[in-house]
Structure 1
Amino acid sequence: MTVAEWCVFASLMLYLLTIVPIKWLGYRRYDNSKPRDPAFYGDPLRTRALGAHQNGIEAFPFFAVAVLLAEFKAGPQRLIDELSVLFLIVRVAYVLTYLGDRPRLRSILWNTGFVINIAIFFLPLIRRYLPI
């Protein structure tokens, strides 16, 4: 497996690990028979963790498709790997800013991640123009 493919897996784990600790920490209030109970997410930190988790679910498909398409279409693997690692770093920072209630920085990081995804997606198209 390539580094980029491991980053796809890590991106999946990141959005899962964003919400699991919140549920564990609130185990006395969290009812697994009602996992989407709005009352549990009334706490601001829990609300932000749920938002970060949901955004991770939303961001994952584009990242996974971009990586797999770029590899399938023979984009420059080293650049795909590097951009995938960068995307993962940006996503970790995004989650931390979401949990830390830093909306402006969070938006900047979201946009940065989106641009990285677009770059990965179009790597096969522009590979002949790259000095690699």
Structure 2
Amino acid sequence: MPIAIWCVLIAGLMPIVVAGVAKRGDRSFDNNDPRGWEGRLEGWRKRVYASHRNGLETFPFFAAAVLCAWTQGASQDWVDGLAAAFILLRLVYHWAYYADRASLRSAVFGTGLLITIAIFLSPLWSAAPAA
């Protein structure tokens, strides 16, 4: 399988891992009322959980872009590189949220969005040569 498809798996699992970071060691988490728990969060846990939600929001567009590029004949090397860059940026994004670096977080988010658009449009400018 191409690297980009593995990146879809990683991007899909990343929000789950991030939510686990927010919950880890917090004895106030109540699995009977997880939304209530979320509403009571403060500080770094609140920021990390917000980055979890953002991961869930960005995942569908990224996954669709990779699948579009894969099925529409984009150069796999380009798509793999862009998808790997997206994953690295998502890691930086989650760290920036945790560290309360709002400007960096916004810049990284914007760059990730541009990369996702580039993946989606890559069949237009990076078509693989005909065999």
TM-score (norm 1): 0.91
Cα pair 1:48 1:98 within 8 Å, conserved: yes
Q: Tell me the amino acid that sits aligned with residue 12 of structure 2.
A: L
Superposition RMSD in Å? 1.6
Measured after TM superposition, the shift of residue 49 of structure 1 is 1.1
SS at match of 1:42: coil
Q: Alpha carbons of 1:32 and 1:61: their partners in 2 closer, same or farther (altered >3 Å)?
A: same
Corresponding position of 2:104: 105
Corresponding position of 1:4: 4
Structure 2 gaps, min length 5: none
Measured after TM superposition, the shift of residue 52 of structure 1 is 0.1
After TM superposition, which residue ranges in structure 1, 4 or more long, deviate above 3 angstroms?
38-41
SS at match of 2:60: helix
Cα pair 1:15 1:53 within 8 Å, conserved: yes
Q: Tell me the amino acid that sits aligned with residue 126 of structure 2.
A: R
**Aligned ranges 1:6-85 → 2 under 5 Å:** 6-26=6-26, 28-38=27-37, 41-85=40-84
C-alpha distance in 2, partners of 1:82/1:13? 19
TM-score (norm 2): 0.92
C-alpha distance in 1, partners of 2:85/2:41? 33
Which string of whole-angstrom CA distances, capped at 9 and with x for unpartnered residues, describes residues 14-72 of structure 1?
1111111221210x211000011156643211110111001000100000000000000
Q: Tell me the amino acid that sits aligned with residue 17 of structure 1.
A: V
Cα pair 1:30 1:40 within 8 Å, conserved: no
What is the percent sequence identity of the aligned residues? 37
Structure 1 gaps, min length 5: none
